[in-house]
């Protein structure tokens, strides 16, 4: 599971905890702090938990940094982490800081829960619908932005994307990664979600497979639609598919929740996600597939529909994004 659930000795309560850390992947240290905190909290949100009682911060300061850079960068990362924790209704009360060759930031999130506070990720049934709450392509966007300064790399993708579009995709990826999955966690309860996980380092297909193996029923996940930050599928193809984005194994950082919902609830979940996300920095949610009887595996169909998600602030983003994407095939409307 995304978290450990530890039954306590007192009154039927459980301690739910998770931890994660990683290396910086964006240039803005404040946003990096927010992303790191959002990534830690996301494991709680994947179980439908909307509250966090306490957070610890794990910080590694690079020994390669000079005093001036250290005094500028590290406080900004710490402030970003703390601000994201506050946004999630919790606070950072401690942690650990060490000197290391590399900058590392992460943390620990803990909450004491009653059984009805969380949703175990094992209840998917045939007929459920798969919903994703953030677009894919963050790894591609971050790398494409780095390639603006690497002519040999840039020359491979410049025919499919402009420099301005790369910058917009990078900004979208950064803000998407820093957005908490808290809204989706709350709506999981409202719309009777049967299971969920967050999409991170193993990519959409990797985490879908992991979720499928945890199910009590003999089910399989079939993914038809891939919401992807605009132009990132073309970039991935142009550079030789080194990310395997459309194949579902491209790493994501602080990605969205993959949620199994009753069919009659999925469109309503997406609609409410879209309306609530507009004020919370998100983009909405997309129906991406179905749950059918099967062998507890996940697969992406051979030619999935690519949903180009325009970066917020771009001209195209002002148009309706059609969050509740229709499922393909007969008798599925």
User: Looking at residue 317, what is its pLDDT?
Assistant: 59
What's the domain count of the chain?
2
Gap between the Cα atoms of 293 and 167, Å rounded:
42
Do 168 and 220 lie in one domain? The reply is yes
Please report whether residue 322 resides in a domain: no
DSSP, residue by residue, 119-174: --TT---TT-EEEESS-B-HHHHHHHHHHTT-HHHHHHHTTT--HHHHHHHHHHHH
Please report whether residue 328 resides in a domain: no
The dihedral through the CA atoms of 52, 278, 282, 168 has a sign that is negative
Please report whether residue 314 resides in a domain: no
Domain of 37, CATH number, reads 3.30.1330.10
Bridge partners, 60 (sequence order): 98, 104
Do 173 and 58 lie in one domain? The reply is no
pLDDT above 70 (res 330): no
Do 268 and 143 lie in one domain? The reply is yes
Do 145 and 53 lie in one domain? The reply is no
pLDDT above 90 (res 315): no
Please report whether residue 212 resides in a domain: yes
Do 169 and 39 lie in one domain? The reply is no
Do 82 and 137 lie in one domain? The reply is no
Length of the chain, in residues: 333
HEC readout, 39-83? HHHHHHHCCCCCCCCEEEEEEEEECCCCHHHHHHHHHHHHHHHHH
Do 62 and 148 lie in one domain? The reply is no
**At a CB cut-off of 8 Å and minimum separation 6, what does 264 contact?**
none
Give the structural domain span for 35. Answer: 4-113
Cβ atoms of 34 and 178 closer than 8 Å:
yes
Gap between the Cα atoms of 43 and 59, Å rounded:
19
Do 175 and 105 lie in one domain? The reply is no
Instruction: Give the Å distances, CA to CA, from 81 to 19, 35, 55, 84, 108.
Output: 14, 8, 10, 5, 12
CA angle, corner 258, sides to 144 and 3, nearest 5? 100
Do 228 and 284 lie in one domain? The reply is yes
Do 108 and 158 lie in one domain? The reply is no
Q: What is the mean pLDDT of residues 163-185?
A: 97
pLDDT above 50 (res 329): no
Residue 172 falls in which region: left (phi positive, over 0), alpha (psi -120 to 50) or beta: alpha
pTM: 0.93
Average pLDDT along the chain: 93
Do 94 and 133 lie in one domain? The reply is no
85, 113, 141 - which closes a domain:
113
- 98-117 residue pLDDT tens: 999 999 999 999 999 999 99
Domain of 164, CATH number, reads 3.90.650.10
Gap between the Cα atoms of 121 and 260, Å rounded:
9
- 42-77 residue pLDDT tens: 999 999 999 999 999 999 999 999 999 999 999 999
- 217-245 residue pLDDT tens: 999 999 999 999 999 999 999 999 999 99
Do 274 and 164 lie in one domain? The reply is yes
């Amino acid at each position: 599971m995304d978290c450990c659930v530890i039954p306590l000795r007192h009154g039927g309560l459980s301690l739910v905890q998770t931890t994660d850390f990683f290396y910086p992947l964006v240039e803005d240290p404040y946003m990096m702090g927010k992303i790191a905190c959002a990534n830690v909290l996301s494991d709680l949100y994947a179980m439908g938990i909307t509250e966090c009682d306490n957070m610890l911060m794990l910080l590694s300061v690079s020994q390669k940094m000079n005093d001036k850079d250290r005094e500028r960068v590290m406080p900004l990362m710490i402030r970003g982490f703390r601000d994201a924790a506050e946004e999630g209704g919790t606070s950072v009360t401690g942690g650990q800081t060490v000197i290391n060759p590399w900058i590392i930031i992460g943390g620990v999130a803990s909450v004491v829960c009653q059984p009805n506070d969380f949703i175990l990720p094992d209840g998917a049934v045939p007929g459920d619908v798969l919903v994703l709450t953030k677009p894919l392509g963050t790894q591609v966007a971050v790398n494409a932005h780095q390639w603006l300064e690497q002519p040999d790399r840039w020359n491979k993708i410049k025919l499919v994307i402009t420099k301005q579009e790369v910058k917009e995709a990078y900004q979208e990826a950064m803000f998407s990664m820093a957005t908490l999955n808290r809204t989706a966690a709350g709506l999981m309860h409202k719309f009777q979600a049967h299971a969920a996980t967050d999409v991170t380092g193993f990519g959409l297909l990797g985490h879908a497979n992991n979720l499928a193996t945890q199910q009590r029923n003999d089910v399989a996940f079939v993914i038809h639609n891939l919401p992807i930050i605009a132009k990132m599928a073309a970039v991935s193809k142009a550079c030789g598919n080194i990310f395997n984005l459309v194949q579902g194994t491209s790493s994501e950082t602080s990605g969205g929740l993959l949620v199994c919902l009753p069919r009659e609830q999925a469109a309503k979940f997406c609609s409410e996600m879209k309306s609530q996300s507009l004020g919370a920095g998100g983009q909405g949610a997309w129906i991406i597939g179905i749950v059918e009887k099967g062998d507890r595996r996940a697969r992406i169909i051979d030619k999935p529909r690519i949903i180009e998600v325009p970066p917020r602030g771009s001209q195209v983003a002002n148009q309706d994004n059609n969050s509740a994407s229709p499922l393909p095939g007969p008798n599925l409307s």
